[in-house]
Structure 1
Amino acid sequence: MKPKNKNSRTATIMGIMTTCTVLILSVVAVVYFIKYITYSNRYEDTNDAQIESFINPVSARAGGFIKNVLFEEHQKVEKGDTLVILDDREYAQKVKEAEAMLEDTKAQQEILAASINSAQASTLINQDQIKVAKATLWQQEQDVKRFKNLLNEDAVTVADYEQVKTRYDVAENSYNATVNGLKTGHMKVNELQAKYSSLFAAKKRAEALLDLAKLNMSYTVITSPYSGYTGRKNILEGQQVQAGQPLVSIVNTHDKWIIANFKETQVNGMYVGQTVEIEVDAIGNKIFKGKIEAISASTGSKFSLLPADNSTGNFVKIIQRIPVKIKFAPDQDTDVLKAGMNVKVRVKAKN
């Protein structure tokens, strides 16, 4: 009989323990369910979110052979740091050629300026010659009138009158020649001034070519557009690159944000400036603060390369995701955060 009583007590104890365990598990389940319901009523969250940052591919603006590569993979660089130097000998020759063209244009301008001054001086001489020729013509005209009167009175011979008349004709032609010479001088000055203006334009063009040659030469030194970290190193010294060819990517570590893709049923009540709590998968037990900076005006599927066409008849209703841009609050240590890290964001739901 004693063994039977012992087994009965053991069974009773096991039953009580089982009942307690079930009760404890039920209480725990109820507590977690209540917490879940309370959390769901207070917050909207998603783990479909990643840290984003500007990743700028630095491209060559000039072609040539690489002379020096001054960076390593994943190296920290500051804005303006030299990354790559190209062989600039061809570009230096272009600069010298443009400088020579500019100097030649300046020399031609100086020659033309001297020619213009000489032509203008010649016109002054022509003006004085006109005055002399005009005075001579007037004198000869008076002699012709006087000898004509004397001829009418038979005081001189016809030969004497003809000699005076010939001298008058010579003086008149000389006067006309000096007048035409002055006109020719003015035309020569105008022609030289037009050539000078043309050379002035040529000088401007030579200056522009020189500036362009210097600009192209400056492209042989490739610098970092902003501070950050370099990406993979895929170039070596001696390699030939073309204009527009990407050389290395720079990750801007000073400007980071999060793109969180919330379900369309979650964004109701969200607004720009709303506070957000951020948990980073790679960093435990730390909550980052942020604010909603922008809410997309369209679902993510509408930005896809081949958006779905529901009018084809193959419609299956799928909850869409709406991208929300979240900016980190200032005065936080975000240096440890890397672009592409997965995060979980939590937004207080609208009451």
Structure 2
Amino acid sequence: MKQYIRNTATALAVVLGLVGIGVVAYAWQLPPFSSEVQTTDNAYVRGYVTLISPQLAGYVTDVPVKDYETVKAGAVLARLDDRIYRQKVEQAKATLASQQAALANSAQQENAAKASIGASEAALASATYAKRRAEESWNRVEELSNKGIATQADREQSRTTLDQAEASVSQAQANLEVTRQNLQTIIVSRDSLRAAVAGAEASVELAKIDLSNTVITSPRDGVVGEVGVKLGQYVAAGTQLMAVVPPDTWVIANFKETQLAYIKPGQAVEVRVDAFKHATLKGHVERFSPAAGSEFSVIKPDNATGNFTKVAQRIPVRIAIDDGQDLSKYLAPGLSVVVTTVQE
């Protein structure tokens, strides 16, 4: 009897040991329980969560949206006090008008300079004719003086008149060159005036942009998150006011590196959503992360120091939800899911 009990106990221990080994092998997907079907519960819904912030500082004068409200692209989310920015637009317009007037005045100065050149050319011609008459008079007086007919006083007066005529020609030539240089100066300064006008026009556009930025709008269709800004609150540029969550969602499943050999782009998967009473959605693998999740962490592990224990790394895999599923429109970023590959 004792021998029977001993044999029974031994057989029971062997059976329990085999069951324990089988459980461990199944849990770790070891032969003979290994399968090409891969599953991970380290998976979450992701989406484009757009944080809304102002580009300007000012007091909030209007917040027309409420928490979790559906909005369209371009819908007004908040308004800032725009009185200062409206005056900046008017100030920039006044500066532009002043620069445009200066440019127009430059054109008028050019016309005046061209007229001065005409006058200087006429004066030079007149001085040239006077010089010619003085030369002719001098030649006659000198000839008469050589014959003893003209007096020395007549000769000196004629020579003085010729010298004055030559001086007048030189002065007229100098005046003509001055007027030409004045015209060139006006033409050269025209470029700086045009640049000033262009700068003033840019200032007007910048002021208009600042004015338009006092109205904060939704960049795309979506649902507003919790509204963190209040009426009358002073906000600085970059202050987070609220978030807009578009309807586009996908799943990031973090598979172990040992599972990747059984996963490929385009492969069908099943996504079980915890929030939907574990209802299943169909999807497919889009692409793999270029590196393990540990490589994107702020503090990366240094495996070259201390004792080492090998740990299977996780590789993020992007999963797209197939169209035509009613439950997919209720997916929200952050929900937990379980992803299982479908064996082809």
User: Into which bin does the TM-score normalised by the smaller protein fall?
Assistant: 0.7 to 0.9
1:147 aligned partner, one-letter code: V
Residue 53 of structure 2 is aligned with which of 50, 59, 62? 59
Question: What root-mean-square deviation, in Å, do the aligned CA atoms of Structure 1 and Structure 2 show?
Answer: 2.3
Counterpart CA distance in 2 for 1:89 and 1:297 is: 50
**Structure 2 stretches lacking a partner, 5+ long:** 1-25
Q: SS of 1:311's equivalent? A: coil
**Pair 1:288–1:299, CA change in 2 (3 A):** same
Q: Distance in 2 between matches of 1:300 and 1:166?
A: 103
In 1, the alpha carbon distance for the partners of 2:334 and 2:325 equals 19
Partner of 2:67: 73
Stretches (4+) displaced over 6 A: none
Q: What SS does the corresponding residue of 1:43 show, helix, strand or coil?
A: coil
Which AA in structure 1 matches 2:155? Y
Which one-letter code corresponds to 2:162 in the other structure?
Y
The answer to whether residue 76 in structure 2 is matched with residue 82 in structure 1 is yes
Count the aligned residue pairs. Answer: 317
SS of structure 2 residue aligned to 1:265: helix
Indicate whether 1:292 and 2:282 are aligned. no
**1:316 corresponds to which of 305, 309, 316:** 309
Q: In the aligned structure 2, how far is the partner of 1:149 from the partner of 1:340?
A: 117
Q: Which residue of 1 aligns with 2:264?
A: 271
Contact map agreement 1:269 1:349 (CA 8 A) in 2 = no
Q: How far is the alpha carbon of 1:39 from its aligned partner?
A: 8.8
1:335 equivalenced with 2:329 (yes/no): yes
Give the letter for the 1:196 counterpart: R
Could you tell me which residue of structure 1 aligns to residue 298 of structure 2?
A: 305
Mapped pair 1:94 → 2:60: no
AA matched with 1:96: E
In the TM superposition, residue 105 of structure 1 has moved relative to its aligned partner by 1.1
Deviation at residue 297 of structure 1 after TM alignment = 3.1
Give percent identity, aligned residues only. 36
Distance in structure 2 (CA, Å) of the matches to 1:121 and 1:184: 13
Contact in 2 for aligned 1:41/1:349 (Cα 8 Å):
no
Q: State the match for 1:49 in structure 2.
A: 43
The more displaced of 109-118 and 243-252 is 109-118
Match of residue 4 from structure 2: none
TM-score normalised according to structure 1 size? 0.84
Measured after TM superposition, the shift of residue 282 of structure 1 is 2.1
* Offset from partner CA, 1:219-259 (integer Å, 9 cap, x none): 10111111111111111111001111111111121x21100
Give the secondary structure class of the aligned counterpart of 2:301: coil
Matched, 1:280 2:270: no
What does 1:69-148 correspond to in 2, within 5 Å?
69-148=63-142
Matches within 5 A, 1:80-229: 80-229=74-223
Instruction: Using structure 2 for the length normalisation, give the TM-score.
Output: 0.86
2:36 touches 2:262 (CA, 8 Å); kept in 1?
Answer: no
Cα distance in 1 between the residues matched to 2:138 and 2:198: 60
SS of equivalent residue, structure 1 residue 177:
helix
For residue 266 of structure 1, report the CA deviation from its aligned partner: 1.5
User: C-alpha separation between the residues in 2 aligned to 1:349 and 1:267?
Assistant: 14
> 2:37–2:262: 8 Å Cα contact kept in structure 1?
no
Aligned mates of 1:245, 1:277 — CA distance in 2 = 40
Query: Is 1:257 equivalent to 2:250 in the alignment?
Result: yes
Offset at 1:328?
A: 1.3
Counterparts of 2:148 and 2:325 in 1: how far apart (Å)? 126
Kept in 2, the 8 Å contact 1:81–1:223? The answer is yes
Q: 1:67 to 1:207 in 2, by over 3 A?
A: same
Larger radius of gyration: 1
Q: Distance in 1 between matches of 2:85 and 2:148?
A: 91
Between the aligned partners of 1:50 and 1:214, the Cα distance in structure 2 is: 43
- Secondary structure of the structure 1 residue equivalent to 2:246: strand
The CA deviation at 1:138 is 1.1
What per-residue deviation string (whole Å, max 9, x for no partner) do you get for residues 88-132 of structure 1? 111111111111111111112222221221111011111112112
SS at match of 2:241: strand
> Structure 1, unaligned stretches of length 5 or more?
1-31
The offset of 1:285, in angstroms, is 7.0
Alpha-carbon distance, 1:208 to partner: 1.4
